[in-house]
Amino acid sequence: MNIEFTAITMVRGEEDVAFASFLHQLRTGFDRLIVISHVEHDFLRQCVALLRDRFPEKEIVFMEIEDEQGFSKRKADYINGALEVYLKKDCHNVVFGFDADEFLTFRKGMTVKDFFAAFVKRFPGEENLKRFYFRLPWINVICKERIAYQKDLEGRLLEAEYWSMGEQASDTKALFLHRRTHRLHMGYHWLMSRDNNEVLEPEEEVTNLAREWEACIYHLPLRSAEQFFDRIGNYVVSAAKQEKHNRLSQFFVDNPHINRQHFFEMCIAPEPSYPNYEALRKEMGPGIEEMVLRAFTKLMVKPRTDIGRALAPASH
C-alpha cells in the first residue's frame, strides 16, 4: 500500500512560532510540507531553506501569494488548489492542515505514520481507507517561561514546558485521507462535499481510535505580550481592509480602564485570574461575552494542568 503524508499551511507573519511548527510537523512523520506564504515572504523563505537542508529526504514546497483584497474568500481555493497540484495521483494521501501556532501530537513519541498503521490494523482492507477522517481536539497551551518575541530559526518553543488549559473544542482540525469528492474547509476544520458543500462527519468508531492515541492539536495562542499586541494590530488592519468591525481591538477602545499588558498577564498567569466567568464579567463588563474575546478571556478562568515538555525537543 503506497501512502504519502502531507501537512499544509498558509502563513503570514508568526515569525516567533512558524519554524518551530514546521519542524514539529516534519518530525511527526510527514513526507511533504506545503507552505503557502501570504504577502510576507522573506522569513518564511529562510525557514524553508533551512528545513530543506535539514530534511533532504522530504519534499518541502513553498508558494508565495500576494492577494490581499478579498483574500479571505479565496483562501480555501488556494489551499485545495495546492493539494491538487502537489499530491501524487498514484498513491493514497493522508493530509493535515494547520495554522502556524498549532502542533499535531499523539501519545509521547508516536508519529502520524504510527497512528495510520494502528488505523489500518484495526480497520483492515482497502475499502476502509476512506474512513480515515478525524476532527481532532484543539487544546490551548501556555508556555511556563517567558520567551522573547523575536524571529526564531531554532525551534525554541519546542524546548519549553507548558500548562494545558484543556480542550478549546473537541472536533476542530481535520486529519484525513484525501478524496476527490471533498474539499478541505479554509480553516482546516472539516471536509465538505464538492457537490453541495455538506460537511462530512467522522465516524464515532473511528474517532475512538484518536482518543485512545491522545491525538490532538496543541494550540499556542499567546506567546508574548508583543505577539499579543501585534495580533490586535493585525486585527485592526484586517478589519479596515475588509470593512468589518473588529471586536477585540474595539474592546480596548471601549474599555480604556483595562490595560492591554495586564489583560495579557491575566491570560497567561500560572493560576486562573478569576474563580469563574461571573467574577470576570463583573470587573470587565458584558462586552467580554463576545465570541472573539472569549477565545482570550476564557484563559483567565481555565484551570491549568502541567504537561511539561509536551512538544518534541528542538535538539531531537
Question: Any idea which residue has 477522517 for its cell?
Answer: 133
φ/ψ of 151, rounded to 5, equals -60, 135
Q: Which of 40, 306, 19 is nearest to 163 (CA)?
A: 306
- 245 and 182 Cβ atoms separated by less than 8 Å: no
Q: What percent of the chain has pLDDT over 70?
A: 92
| Average pLDDT of the segment spanning 43-56 | 98
Residue 40: pLDDT band by 50, 70, 90 thresholds? confident
- 291 and 154 Cβ atoms separated by less than 8 Å: no
**Can you give the pLDDT at residue 255?**
73
Q: How far apart are CA 84 and CA 80, in angstroms?
A: 6
| Average pLDDT of the segment spanning 251-266 | 82
Residue 315: pLDDT band by 50, 70, 90 thresholds? very low
Q: Domains along the chain?
A: 3-219 (3.90.550), 225-303 (no CATH)
Q: Flag whether the pTM goes above 0.75.
A: yes
